Amino acid sequence: MNTIVQSAIAESLPAFLAKKNYTSIAVLVDNNTKKHCYSLIKDLLPKHKLIQIAPGEKAKTLATCGHIWEVLTQQETDRHGLLINLGGGVIGDMGGFCAATYKRGIDFVQIPTTLLSQVDASVGGKLGIDFNAFKNHIGVFQVPNAVLIDPAFLNTLPEAELRSGFAEVIKHCLIRDKSMWEVISTKDLHEQNWPALIAHSVAIKDVITTEDPTEKGLRKILNFGHTLGHAIETLFLGTKKHLLHGEAIAVGMLCESFIAMQLGQITKAELAEIEAFLIAIYGMVPLEASEFDTIINLTSQDKKNKGKEVRFSLLEGIGKATFDQAISKNQMRKALEYYAN
């Protein structure tokens, strides 16, 4: 069970720190969260060490972990030290991984500062880093000592990052809550009620990941949109303009909704509804027919697969999802063709 608190950081952080006596505290930031977020917590903390890294996915490497472990070691952090991860999913996943493995594990707190990390990455205990070309290839499951969510951090977040995180909110509604889907899908990005949506998404993800922490079953529904979405994200990494995670997942959700429609799990009208909203928010990502094979082949790297089968989490009506559905290359190709046309 996660300890997740959504309130002003000026209340939640001192309350957390008052519960235990830490021998040392370090705060992990990237250049952007140092600039925009650190000032909101700096004065709430006793003496601490700041660990600053470069922003973005490219820093999510073993080399950066080496630097973090190095600073913790220099600071003589013992098993009673605390690491505070102040940033988006990169900081949370990597800082959490470093804390969970440093001296076999020290306490750590997630203070997520992007929408994506507030509604998704900070909940559920998946930690890790990228390795070679593979995303989140090395990691562990470990629940943080607390997740402190303050929507105020979003005030400085670039709009593209907000839109990217919104894809996970949309996903949570589509797989689990039709009534909230009806609320969000009538509003554009700037009309959304973020504090309410964050609480809603966190509750959904927390329930699912508490029931199935290590993704043996139910947790897989959170991968809706992510099988083709991740493959498209990877394709764009190598060859094209940069695509944010949520932008790729939006394409994935649309393609995978098409597959569900083909299988008779959602209606044509439901597909049309999902399609209209996703395209209104995200526009179209240019996909060429010549890229379909690469995308389809990339899905074989998916962590949800068993043996050679590529397994999807698909909608079953709006508000419900299945998992472990084996989908053929041909079905994937049809979905990509549908999207591209």
Ligand X SMILES: NC(=O)c1ccc[n+]([C@@H]2O[C@H](COP(=O)([O-])OP(=O)(O)OC[C@H]3O[C@@H](n4cnc5c(N)ncnc54)[C@H](O)[C@@H]3O)[C@@H](O)[C@H]2O)c1
Q: Catalytic residues, which ones? A: 104, 126, 168, 205, 215, 219, 223, 226, 230, 245
Selected range binding ligand X among 8-16, 90-98, 173-181, 303-311, rule: CB under 6 A = 90-98
Alpha-carbon distance of 142 to 167, in angstroms, equals 25
Smallest gap from residue 245 Cβ to ligand X (A): 6
Alpha-carbon distance of 195 to 89, in angstroms, equals 18
Question: Under the criterion CB under 6 A, does residue 157 sit at the interface with ligand X?
Answer: yes
In angstroms, the Cα distances linking 145 to 17, 52, 55, 328 are 11, 22, 24, 41
| Stretch 160-179: interaction string toward ligand X, x if CB under 6 A | -x--x---------------
Selected range binding ligand X among 9-17, 55-63, 235-243, 303-311, rule: CB under 6 A = 55-63
Question: Under the criterion CB under 6 A, does residue 37 sit at the interface with ligand X?
Answer: yes
Alpha-carbon distance of 93 to 155, in angstroms, equals 22
Question: Under the criterion CB under 6 A, does residue 113 sit at the interface with ligand X?
Answer: yes
Question: Under the criterion CB under 6 A, does residue 156 sit at the interface with ligand X?
Answer: yes
Judged by CB under 6 A, the chain residues 245 through 264 that form the site for ligand X are 245
State the residue number with the nearest CB to ligand X.
Answer: 89
Q: Where are the alpha helices (DSSP H) in the chain?
A: 9-17, 31-36, 62-74, 89-101, 115-116, 159-176, 178-184, 194-211, 226-239, 245-262, 268-282, 292-298, 329-340
Number of residues forming the site for ligand X (CB under 6 A): 31
Question: Under the criterion CB under 6 A, does residue 153 sit at the interface with ligand X?
Answer: yes
Q: Tokens at residue 189, please?
A: 């990005």
Mention every residue, 6+ apart, whose C-beta is less than 8 A from residue 63: none
Selected range binding ligand X among 30-38, 192-200, 268-276, 327-335, rule: CB under 6 A = 30-38
Selected range binding ligand X among 32-40, 180-188, 258-266, 327-335, rule: CB under 6 A = 32-40
Mention every residue, 6+ apart, whose C-beta is less than 8 A from residue 281: 163, 166, 170, 188, 189, 250
Output helix, strand, coil percentages for the chain, rounded to the nearest 5.
55, 15, 30
Smallest gap from residue 263 Cβ to ligand X (A): 26
Question: Under the criterion CB under 6 A, does residue 136 sit at the interface with ligand X?
Answer: yes
Q: From the list 36, 49, 240, 329, which residue makes contact with ligand X (rule: CB under 6 A)?
A: 36
Alpha-carbon distance of 275 to 11, in angstroms, equals 41
Smallest gap from residue 161 Cβ to ligand X (A): 5
Alpha-carbon distance of 318 to 148, in angstroms, equals 30
The binding site for ligand X (CB under 6 A) comprises 30, 32-33, 36-37, 55-57, 60, 87-91, 93, 113-114, 116-117, 120-121, 124, 126, 135-136, 153, 156-157, 161, 164, 245
